[in-house]
Chain A
Amino acid sequence: MLWNFFREFEQGDFSSWVREGNFIAEPFSTYYTLLGLHSIGMAAIVGVTWMLGSRIFGFQTGISLRNVGGLFRLAWWGFWLNLFSGMVLLAAQPRREMMTGMFWLKIAAIVLAVWVIRVLQKGLSEIRTVPDPRGGGVIEVVPQSIRLQAFVIVVLWLVAIVAGRLIGYTQPPPPM
C-alpha cells in the first residue's frame, strides 16, 4: 500500500519538479541545487564535529571545551539543512532510494552519529577542570568516555560519507 502511494507520489508535480525541474530559474536544476545544499549541510556538521573531536583527542588545547556551545549550534544548523534537503531529495525517487542498501547504511550511520553527538554535547557541559601545575590557568580533564564518543562520531561520519557516495553507484534501475 505504501509502495503504491510512493509510485503515485513519484508521478506527481512535486516529485517531478525535484527530479527534472529548475530551482528558481533555468538551468539551475532543483535536484543538483538541493544536492549542493545537502553537501553544505553535511560538510558543516561533519566538519565542525571532526574539529571538536580533534580538540577532544588532545589537539588545539587553546580551544576551551566549556566554550564550544556556539559551535554545536553551527553543527546543528548544518544537520537541519542536511536533513531538510535530504528529505526533499528523497521525494525525487523514494522507491529507488529505499531499494538501495547503501541508502539505509547512510541513514543508520547518521541516526547513530546524531545520537552520539547529543550524548557528547551533554557530557561536555559537565567537564571538570583542575589547576594547571605549571601555573596560571586550568586544565580541562576529558574523560575516556568522551574521547570514545568523539572517536565513534568520526567513524560514523566516515561510514555515512562512503555509503552516501556509493548510493549512486549501487542503485537498482528505477522501478516500474
Chain B
Amino acid sequence: MEFDPSVIAWFKAAWPGPLVRTSGWLFPFGEVIHFIGLCLLFGSLIFIDLRLMGWFKELSVKAVLALVPYAMIGLTMNMLSGWLFFTSAPDTYLENPAFIVKMILVLLATANAVFFTLYEQRKVAMIGPGESAPRMAQILAGSSLGLWLLILLIGRWLPIFTVGTN
C-alpha cells in the first residue's frame, strides 16, 4: 500500500515519535503498558463475552457488565501505547500488511462493541442468573471474542511481515 510521503512525515514528527526514537526505555515502557492494557481488556471481555454466550450462567449479566470500565481502561492504554509505537516508525508500520489487517480488525471490534452498547446492552442488562442472552447478543459476544483473539495473534505476527526482519 502506498502512502503520501507528507502524511508519513507528519506522523513521524508527531508526539511522542521523536522522543521514542532517541530514548532507550520509552519503547519497552510502551510495550509493558500495551500488555497491561491487553490483560485488562481481554480479562474483562472474556468474562462478559463468555457469559453472554451462555457460560457462567450462575452470574447475572448485569453483574458481569460491571467489568466494562476495565475494558475501556485497557483499550485506552492500548491506543495510547499503540500511538507511541506507531509514531516511532510510521513508515515501517504502514508498509506492514499485518499492521493494516490488525487496525482493520481493531476498528471492526470497536464497531462491534459500539453496536452492542447502542442496541443490545439495555436488553441484556436485566438477564439474571440461569437465563440466556438473546441470539443477537450471543453473536456479537462471539464475534468480539474472536476478533480480539485474532488481533492479539496478528499483533505478534507483525515482525514476520516487517520488511527486513524475520
Contact = CB atoms under 8 A, between A and B. Distances in A.
Contact of A43 (B38, B59, B160): B38
Contact of A60 (B32, B39, B63, B157): B63
A169 interface: yes
Contacts, number: 108
B39 A29 contact: no
B55 interface: yes
Nearest to B50: A74
A62 B125 CA distance: 12
A33 B35 CA distance: 17
Contacts of B31: 165
What is the size category of the interface that chain B forms with chain A?
A: 35 or more
Contacts of B55: 70
B83 interface: no
A35 B156 contact: yes
Contact of B46 (A48, A164, A169): A48
B152 A63 contact: no
A169 to B, nearest CB: 5
Contacts of B160: 27-29, 32
A67 B32 CA distance: 32
A44 B42 contact: yes
Nearest to B48: A51
Interface string B22-58: 0000001001100110111111101100100001101
Secondary structure dominating the interface of B: helix
A161 B166 contact: no
A119 interface: no
Given A43-B43, A44-B46, A63 B66 contact: yes
A6 to B, nearest CB: 24
Given A32-B159, A74-B50, A43 B39 contact: yes
Contacts of A29: 160, 166
28 contacts: A27-B160, A28-B160, A29-B160, A29-B166, A33-B157, A36-B153, A36-B157, A37-B153, A39-B152, A39-B156, A42-B39, A43-B152, A47-B44, A47-B46, A48-B43, A50-B40, A51-B70, A54-B67, A59-B66, A64-B58, A64-B59, A64-B63, A67-B129, A70-B56, A70-B58, A74-B50, A162-B32, A169-B28
Interface of B: 28, 31-32, 35-36, 38-44, 46-47, 50, 55-56, 58-60, 62-64, 66-67, 70, 129, 149, 152-157, 159-161, 166
